[in-house]
Structure 1
């Protein structure tokens, strides 16, 4: 019936269009398949008539449950391209004529060169504030008499007691918060704000899984999919959006904090504490013991995460000026930010012509977020909703923007972690003012990473009189190639033996000064000083108290110590006053600007400061018991130490994780305890390296990764890698070199060990060969790891014929051809790692990277190493923009509905649960998006129907970690993402309604981590067929296939290959259109036989039928041999190419990009 109605509506639409009913639409024609029509369009700005194809995605659900897809036969003119983008999200639940009408209307809108003036904006004068209200205001206008209130405390006044001046504003506030709730966010009434008061704190949150971030990004950003991102807004007095726009920026009194939390809203105490500055290093916090314990045990409270500092600053400084700029100019978010940044003042004081701005930002396409500021033009807009969408936009896309000025970065490479632009001021504020990623979460989760970075820096600032000669200038002459610059912190000038300020007597934790007493009065509480004894012991101390009895000064100190060789004091010998004892010391205050020292003096100062940084695991413990504090507030951390530690962590742009996290704890119960609260990564551990602590590079520095990926793409165009695009090899270097290697990569500027086999970076597939070059260095005394040696396992592009040398070493002179993937550090012998719990196993449980025969890498016992597939960063994250990150949604996340969950508080439900307002205009797009969401929620997606008597297949039992999969493919454009989202929705619906034995295929949608890569199981084959018999004999219940979609889908076909089990080749009696390498050999899956109208349901059924086809022979399973159960990665690609060439089928133009995940 639905298809008949569709065809009837096509006829009706054609008649109306022929009669001239729609401007710009000349004709409505039938398409090449059922459910397709073609509109012939004309517009004065078009060079010719354009045929616009409109494809109904589900004619069985027409019109209410159907969505239309738009495309053209070739590259569309700019006007049509913009029309498609503006219209694609609207075409839900419409008839054919309504679609044609929408197209006609959009033709006119996008063709206009001038924008219509917004009308109907509500003025601030329409709302009454406490000092200017009207006593005759009608309660019923905002529905106050219909609202059910549930005060949290009996002593809280009922709403009827509100003064007439507060009621209009409170009612508007409640309506604005309901808009937030209806947009899919959770609203938490933390205080009595919005219940009985227009002043206070409100929380707006969203579960992390609904942001659509990949697992790789969640790990890099220290987020858990079950946590909430919480935006706290604190209002002195609430102001509606219109009032905010009309008032000067300085008069808008609202503060923001963005945090993460296990609950959708924090407690009132936590919310208030979030607005208290606890990071002031000059004031130490004191805590009650019981309160400390409570804080330490509260793991569900508010916590900062990596970008909290940056977003807090951006929201508090820039949000209101930017929305004012958008209102004034009509710009998008990026343009408005550029406009504000260039002016640096209130946008009301300037004209849009005063400043040049970039092009319009691309429209927001995130499945959860929208642009309420634009969508609700002409109506009353919700200030909290605009704030939340603004915060989430810059959180999700943070890697595209500078962390300080938040301007768009001019970079084609998408890093896993955000950074700053090239502006020196941004870099300074990033390094020294806390606007970079917060260090505290890194210390808490990855303490060994911080220990590693500090240890390598300490080794790099040691004097090295026997330094190797450099081919080119490499910086300051020390092993470290660049020292901190412009951080503006003070240190003691220990390089000048006579540069001390005073001499005195050290008596335990007391310092007695009796010289230059007037000068001593400049010393203040909390000031840092260094004390040098005659025995070359330097002790750094923090002044606790200063007393001036008689002619002396007595200082109470917190002491730490280090050793240094200082020249003898040539000044007059110190005269010890009568009655005093103790060690004579020279006192060097922290009063010298670090930038004023020469390189040798800087290195000495850094060594001294680092020797007094507390152990990182001790800092972790302190932060655990002080969850709301900065590490700068910890006793023993001087401002200089905080600045250097911030610089060490922030200047490392590689994304490093600790694979090993066990530390020695002398305890009868458990000798080894985990270091840090980060994720368990034992599955990423390379076995056979038990005496080394392992670190994995999720991503190298963005610049190096970009160059490596680009080089890999270039070589892939001219060389057939035969399934092995890269190889692995070891590199050993002196411990002092690794600080710079992590930041600039491996190079050959310095001749360290000769160049017998040519100029280049030297690698070896044999561990013991490279170990001879991993020289030890000076160990950071406070290190828990006590690192003595360091080596890296590197990924190298597989072009040995172009290396300078391949025997006995790999010598690579192209710096872009290699990247570090694992770092191995050898700790002191008594601190080495215990064997992993699974250490008795000889193989990894997870998928491993296939290595080319003859170029395998060997471990410390000369055994071949198994490289976890996790060693290879996702190419999608590296080569695609944020759209790719957003598109990396699992089907579960994509279909989450915005409805209330059971954990919401009663008062929140009472206030937000219903909405009686009917006077607010809602944009057409918002209505249709709501229709789509409600349609999803009302249908529900049940589990597939499983009848054990009809099939032996059991869904959800496949262990995905055992599958050898290709790296994720590149993300596609918006059309591909939408098309695949519709396919997922359709297949979910079919799978939930159809018995499994009738369906014959199964997709675990919760395991889809990338829309462009699916795992499909084919099952329940007729047991009387040869394939069915083979499966029963081998005790196999399903055939596992991988489907990879091109970024041009649905205009190009997917690539389908078998993963397990293996099939017999055609020459061995097999068939079923399965190639020797496992690829499906079907014309349907080539450009010669593919049609954009194909649905994935029909593709799955045709693949299933091809396996059983007698033309030429059905598929048969190969005998199962140990180690030969699965197809190796890469086999199918060559097999598909050969098969397509043999049959003279056209291979898709982007086939290799789809198959390998590189361009």
Structure 2
């Protein structure tokens, strides 16, 4: 029976090619993406004797007549072979699978036989070419024809063009002049040592024009500790995505156009491949902008079929800060650098003064740097990190400048504020970047999601997060008569807590004292119907109190007798008000715990059959008191202890995130927003860098991708003789403490300056 559809014919041809004994071709099979297939090209003159090649039809619905093939490999191949694979998109239109394989084999053999054994060449010598899709790429006539542009790596996906065009509509090509300029800009990127790829659009009129500039992270020369602190892996690639909503923007266009009229968009990501798939790139520019692929109804792409877990385009620790800088400041700073001949730092100072409205009234003292000041200051770094393309007196490539700008601030991120990006005066360089002393920067860092990703930290450093929470909780307890040991309290976060006091304060008549815990200040007496999750306020005149609206969080105290718990026990329930009918509240209880907190009692109440528990009298406390209004540190610490009990365990939070990678803790109804803000503060305010050395039994079940490479190769640092204990290493303490320690060492003249630590 003949194939019913063109896609069926494509699959049949792939199977037929696998059964055919094609020379130099082995292992034809299904790829990770729908309709993609892979095969191995076998030859003694290629690295390792074979190359795994991926083939992706660009329009399976029009196979074979109007379809072409995207051909690529994930292997590091010499540029001659890479050029043949890249050029295949333009020269395979109308081919069936068998003809494609034979044509690729012939062209690869031509290169191998004419040049001898192919060595790993310098990709910087890759010459961007323009060829006619109807001519052999090796013919003399195909030297500079503009009919089809394929002078850079392409991953164009016709599905995107079909969103706004009829399937029979051919793309509208751009002018030859624009095409030549694009080729020139891209060649400059390649010559500088980066890889540049066209994902969609660019060489024809399209609503989606996205390019990528990438560099393997191992070429940055970062230490293992730095890579872990910045959430990078040497085997991955740093990728700058640039989206042009309209026409391609040249450097000259950017200089003469007001910045607010230039609608370039930037995303900085990491990926196991140097070029992500289109669906992931589009997702990075979506309003959520998470950077990981999510299935969208418009494209009708399946997550499992189109993007393997290891190939995901992912955000990383400091990437959001660098994206903020690219989005807000890059173009303005680039113009200032070019027109005033200053460094990036001086351009940032100038821009800040312009924003503050002091540019015309306050003298600006700016340095006039020598050519290529970065190279003089970083002579030991590889040229790819210090070259400054903006100093070029001839044609300048805007994508190259953007990538060099991103690298400049990435490699020096610890020296700049993560929010305002101005250079900080520090006496010790930290591994982890932070914010300057401006209150606004600290507020944005803690509240606007510009600090570390809480979800990512919990997934990849579960026990480090658990350790930080434990440190915080322990510091809330009193140390003799000196009060809590917490040095700095979370201020300015609008942490709303119930009005409770420790037993150090006397209770009023309306207050309720909980034995061995504290005092509830003016609670509301209620009846609780557990089977219907309903709360009835006994004194209806109190129903108008603030903090009792729909969507508000409340804390409920109940006391249960010995028949229910084995002994008298006080329990706090943390609940969300879902609906309300005057004095009757419909609630959703997300967690409960005994007071005082005891493990045996906690485990017991989790097993209770609450639905069969009878009508209970309790006390309700709205979360209507701001932590900032509590002036007593003992009472402030007491409220924080109650607040931290609202959090589920770190293991529960990680399980929630791992069940579905699209889920976020911030939208989990199990965690009150106030507790989420406290958790963010605990993690974000930690300026030290802690590494877990040994693995727990659960860690051993995780894949390397899930762990993100953290903690690998640390077993040699374990302290022996303490089996059963989890071990951590402070790769670096807080910068302030490290600086104090270093200064103290410098004051000691003895040859052995300390017996407690080494530096």
TM-score, with length taken from structure 2: 0.64
1: CA distance between counterparts of 2:360 and 2:176? 37
1:262 is aligned to 2:296: no
Could you tell me how far apart the structure 1 residues matched to 2:548 and 2:143 are? 65
TM-superposed deviation, 1:720: 4.0
Q: Do residues 307 (structure 1) and 318 (structure 2) align? A: yes
Q: In the alignment, is the contact (CA less than 8 A) between 1:509 and 1:559 conserved in 2?
A: no
Q: Corresponding residue for 1:1140?
A: none
1:333 aligns with 2:356: no
Change (3 A) 1:591 1:720: closer
Aligned to 1:343: 354
Taking structure 1 as reference, are residues 621 and 312 closer, same or farther at Cα in structure 2, changes over 3 Å only?
Answer: farther
Q: Answer yes or no: is 1:679 the counterpart of 2:679.
A: no
Q: CA deviation at 1:451?
A: 0.5
Match of 1:532 among 557, 561, 575: 557
Quick one: which of 644, 647, 658 aligns to 1:610? Answer: 644
- Structure 1 unaligned segments of length 5 or more: list them: 1-139, 471-476, 567-579, 728-793, 796-871, 876-1159
Greater relative contact order (Cα < 8 A, sep 6+): 1
Map of 1:416 onto structure 2? 431
Match of 2:400 among 381, 385, 405: 385
1:14-93 correspondence to structure 2 within 5 Å = none
Report the 3-state secondary structure (helix = DSSP H, G, I; strand = E; otherwise coil) of the residue aligned with 2:199. Answer: coil
Q: Tell me the residue number matched to 2:676.
A: 642
| Secondary structure at the counterpart of residue 330 of structure 2 | helix
The answer to whether 1:698 aligns with 2:739 is no
- Matched residue, 2:281: 271
d(CA) in 2 for partners of 1:295, 1:558: 40
C-alpha distance after superposition, 1:545-585 (max 9, x if no partner):
4264xx5655251420133479xxxxxxxxxxxxx973344
Aligned residues: 550
Q: 1:708 to 1:478 in 2, by over 3 A?
A: closer
Paired residue for 2:374? 363
1:560 and 2:577 correspond: no
After superposition, the Cα gap between the structure-2 partners of 1:488 and 1:709, relative to the gap in structure 1 and judged at 3 Å, is same
Q: Aligned in 2, Cα 1:141/1:621: closer, same or farther, shift over 3 Å?
A: same
2:231 corresponds to which residue? 222
Q: Which runs of no fewer than 5 residues in structure 2 stay unpaired?
A: 1-141, 502-518, 561-569, 598-612
Correspondence for 2:486? 480
Distance 1:332 1:500, change over 3 A: farther
- Deviation for aligned residue 1:698: 1.0
Tell me how far 1:647 sits from its aligned partner: 1.6
Deviation at 1:226, TM superposition (A): 0.8
For 1:429 and 1:159, the matched residues in 2 are separated by 49
* Deviation of 1:357 (Å): 4.8
2:637, 2:305 → 1: CA distance? Answer: 42
Tell me the CA shift for residue 685 of structure 1: 0.4
Q: In the TM superposition, what are the counterparts of 1:623-638 in structure 2 within 5 Å? A: 623-627=657-661, 630-638=664-672
Which of 467, 476, 480 is equivalent to 1:468?
480
| Shift in Å, 1:307 | 0.6
Please give the alpha-carbon distance, in whole angstroms, between the structure 2 residues aligned to 1:456 and 1:415: 21
1:433 paired residue number = 448
Q: Is the alpha carbon distance of 1:592 and 1:177 closer, same or farther for their aligned partners in structure 2, counting shifts above 3 Å?
A: farther
> Residue 437 of structure 1: SS of its match in structure 2?
coil
2:604 is matched with none
Indicate how the Cα distance of structure 1 residues 420 and 143 shifts in structure 2: closer, same or farther if over 3 A, else same: farther
- By how many angstroms is 1:271 displaced? 1.9
Distance 2:179 2:718 in 1: 57
Contact 2:390–2:401 (8 Å) recurs in 1: no
Distance of 2:725 and 2:218 partners within structure 1:
35
Q: Distance in 1 between matches of 2:730 and 2:527?
A: 50
Q: Which moved more, 1:167-176 or 1:149-158?
A: 149-158
Following superposition, the deviation at residue 697 of structure 1 comes to: 1.1
Confirm or deny that 1:541 pairs with 2:587: no
Given that residues 553 and 623 in structure 2 are in contact (C-alpha distance below 8 angstroms), is that contact kept between their aligned partners in structure 1? yes
3-state SS of the aligned residue for 1:363? helix
CA deviation map 1:190-222 (0-9, x unaligned): 333445537433222110011121223223323
User: Taking structure 1 as reference, are residues 546 and 642 closer, same or farther at Cα in structure 2, changes over 3 Å only?
Assistant: same
Inter-partner Cα distance in structure 2 for 1:697 and 1:325: 41
Over alpha carbons, which structure has the higher Rg?
1
Q: Can you list the C-alpha shifts for 1:1075-1103, whole angstroms capped at 9, x where unaligned?
A: xxxxxxxxxxxxxxxxxxxxxxxxxxxxx
Tell me, yes or no, if structure 1 residue 374 matches structure 2 residue 390. Answer: yes
Distance 1:278 1:271, change over 3 A: same
* 2:618 counterpart of 1:595: no
CA distance in 1: counterparts of 2:628 and 2:183, whole angstroms: 54
Distance 1:279 1:375, change over 3 A: closer
> What is the deviation of 1:657?
0.8
Decide whether the 8 Å contact of 2:497 with 2:626 is kept in 1: yes
2:497 to 491, 503, 510: 491
* 8 Å Cα contact 2:693-2:718 kept in structure 1: yes
2:274 equivalent to 1:252 = no
Structure 2 CA distance for partners of 1:521 and 1:596, relative to 1, 3 Å: closer
CA 1:277–1:582 in structure 2 vs 1: closer, same or farther (change >3 Å)? Answer: farther
Distance 1:307 1:381 in 2: 28
Partner of 2:334: 323
Deviation of the 1:224 alpha carbon: 1.4
State which of 445, 451, 454 in structure 1 corresponds to 2:460. 445
8 Å contact kept, 1:329–1:352: no
Alignment CA distance shift 1:197-1:448 (3 Å): same
Indicate which of 533, 541, 544 corresponds to 1:510. Answer: 533
Q: Distance in 1 between matches of 2:192 and 2:180?
A: 19
SS at match of 2:200: coil
Taking the aligned partners of 1:176 and 1:501, their CA distance within structure 2 comes to: 70
Counterpart Cα distance in 2 of 1:652 and 1:214: 21
Q: Residues 547 and 624 of structure 2 are in contact (CA less than 8 Å); yes or no, is this contact kept in structure 1?
A: no
1:206/1:228 contact within 8 Å kept = yes
C-alpha distance in structure 2 between counterparts of 1:519 and 1:254, whole Å: 51
Distance 1:295 1:626 in 2: 17
Contact 2:475/2:485, CA 8 A, preserved across alignment: yes
Counterpart Cα distance in 1 of 2:183 and 2:532: 59
Aligned pairs for 1:893-904 (under 5 A) are none
How far apart, in 2, do the equivalents of 1:520 and 1:278 lie?
37
- Residue by residue over 1:688-716, the C-alpha shift from the partner in whole angstroms, topping out at 9 and shown as x without a partner, is 1124321111112222223333443454x
Please state how far the C-alpha of 1:152 moved relative to its aligned partner.
Answer: 4.3
CA distance in 2 between partners of 1:224 and 1:487 (Å):
33
String of CA shifts for 1:637-663, please: whole Å, max 9, x gaps. Answer: 222222211221222222111112214
**Pairing 1:144–2:184 present:** no
Are 1:338 and 1:358, in contact at CA under 8 Å, matched by a contact in 2?
no
Answer yes or no: is the 8 Å Cα contact 2:337–2:347 preserved in 1.
yes
Q: What's the CA shift for 1:478?
A: 1.4
**CA RMSD, 1 decimal:** 4.2
**C-alpha displacement of 1:393:** 0.9
Say which SS state the counterpart of residue 442 (structure 1) adopts: helix
SS in 1 for 2:353: helix
Does the CA-based 8 Å contact 1:296-1:625 persist in structure 2?
no
Partner of 2:473: 458
1:381-427 CA deviation, whole Å, 9 max, x = no partner?
22222111111111111111111211112123222221222222222
SS in 2 for 1:305: coil
